[in-house]
Amino acid sequence: MRLSVVIPLMNEEESIKPLFKALKSTLSGIEHEVIIVDDGSSDATVAIAKKYAPDNTKILIFNKNYGQTTALAAGIDHAEGELIATMDGDLQNDPADIPAMIEYLVENDLDVVAGRRTGRKDGMFLRKIPSRIANALIRTMTDVHIRDYGCTLKVFKKDVAKNLGLYGELHRFIPVLVQLYGARMAEMDVKHHARKYGVSKYGIGRTFKVLSDLLFMVFFQKFGQKPMHLFGTLGFFAFFLGIAINLYLLIVKLTGQEIGGRPLLMLGVILTFTGIQLITTGFIAEFIMRTYYESQNKKPYIIREIVGKKEP
């Protein structure tokens, strides 16, 4: 099987030469191509990559920094292999793990093998602890049970990788996208090395991005094809609660009591109009979803295999 190795890079000039050397030595027995995606580097990354790139290498050079998710998406779009591996270009992922991951994928008839970093060589307080908290939170909210969501080293079958729908900052949620696709996925232990060159592009500030993206992924996972189930349920609950409060206040008013200054009146009105807005939003979201599928002739399902006698 031909393999495509997709590697996003940004300001990794010192890592380029040893990266190519490691890829050549560990993948020499596998027909492969390497796709380097430069994500707006401001150092000599591109020049060094051009100088040392083997013949089987494509270099995609962005005009500016778009982020790791977009870089991975671009590399996958240009990949021609039946299998696609993704990895970081900072030498912390080890390409020597890729052959074993391919073997594991084939032997177990899987669609995706995700790396699980053992003996992770990162800082405890700024990287490991936030990562563990994030992993636990993602597992709980998405019900996708893998241990290491942050490991870029993965091997995919081509059809899965090319249909993930990567955009924004969703590279952290590739396992969730894989589950939404209905692919068969498993984890395996991979090596993790300490960073030798350059500086990490990630910090504690990414925590808030992860939380924001997690909320979107939970919505997309549970209500992506049926948004009315969320907005309609919330809308009807708020609407009828508001109506109930207003009816209660109407009865109170008919008994001769003053209700104009009651905060409960304001709550009843707000809930009523909020319910109407949520229900309307649900209708709009349903129309958008219908337009998304019908305008692009997309299907809301994926057929893995058709078994049966073909018509003559």
- Does residue 7 have a pLDDT over 70? yes
- Does residue 99 have a pLDDT over 80? yes
Residues 79 and 208 in one domain: yes
The verdict on residue 143 lying in a domain is yes
- Does residue 208 have a pLDDT over 80? no
Domain that holds residue 34: 3-223
Tell me, what's the pLDDT at 146?
86
- Does residue 306 have a pLDDT over 90? no
Per the listing, tokens 């104009």 go with 260
The verdict on residue 204 lying in a domain is yes
Residues 131 and 260 in one domain: no
Return mean pLDDT, the chain. 87
Number of C-beta neighbours around residue 48 at 10 A: 18
Number of C-beta neighbours around residue 165 at 10 A: 11
Q: Domain tally for the chain?
A: 2
pLDDT digits (tens, 9 = 90+) for 38-82: 999 999 999 999 999 999 999 999 999 998 999 999 999 999 999
Q: What pTM, to 2 d.p., does this model score?
A: 0.79
Residues 9 and 149 in one domain: yes
The verdict on residue 307 lying in a domain is no
Q: How confident is the model at residue 172 (pLDDT cuts 50, 70, 90)?
A: confident
Tell me, what's the pLDDT at 302?
67
Residues 240 and 207 in one domain: no
Q: What is the helix (H) or strand (E) element at residue 189, kind and residue range?
A: strand 185-190
Contacts of 244 (CB under 8 A, 6+ apart): none
Residues 113 and 211 in one domain: yes
For residues 76 and 133, the model is more confident at 76
Residues 48 and 154 in one domain: yes
For residues 293 and 58, the model is more confident at 58
Residues 218 and 271 in one domain: no
The verdict on residue 265 lying in a domain is yes
Q: What's 146's domain CATH number?
A: 3.90.550.10
The verdict on residue 311 lying in a domain is no
Residues 200 and 233 in one domain: no
Residues 85 and 202 in one domain: yes
Q: What is d(CA 189, CA 118) in angstroms, rounded to the nearest whole number?
A: 6
The verdict on residue 189 lying in a domain is yes
Residues 52 and 187 in one domain: yes
The verdict on residue 8 lying in a domain is yes
Tell me, what's the pLDDT at 242?
95
Amino acid identity, residue 237? F
- Does residue 170 have a pLDDT over 60? yes
- Does residue 126 have a pLDDT over 60? no
The verdict on residue 310 lying in a domain is no
Residues 204 and 100 in one domain: yes
Distances (CA, A) of 51 to 1, 44, 89: 28, 11, 16
- Does residue 203 have a pLDDT over 60? no
Q: Both tokens of residue 265? A: 């009146």
- Does residue 142 have a pLDDT over 90? no
Residues 58 and 85 in one domain: yes
CA proximity to 167, closest of 68, 78, 88: 68
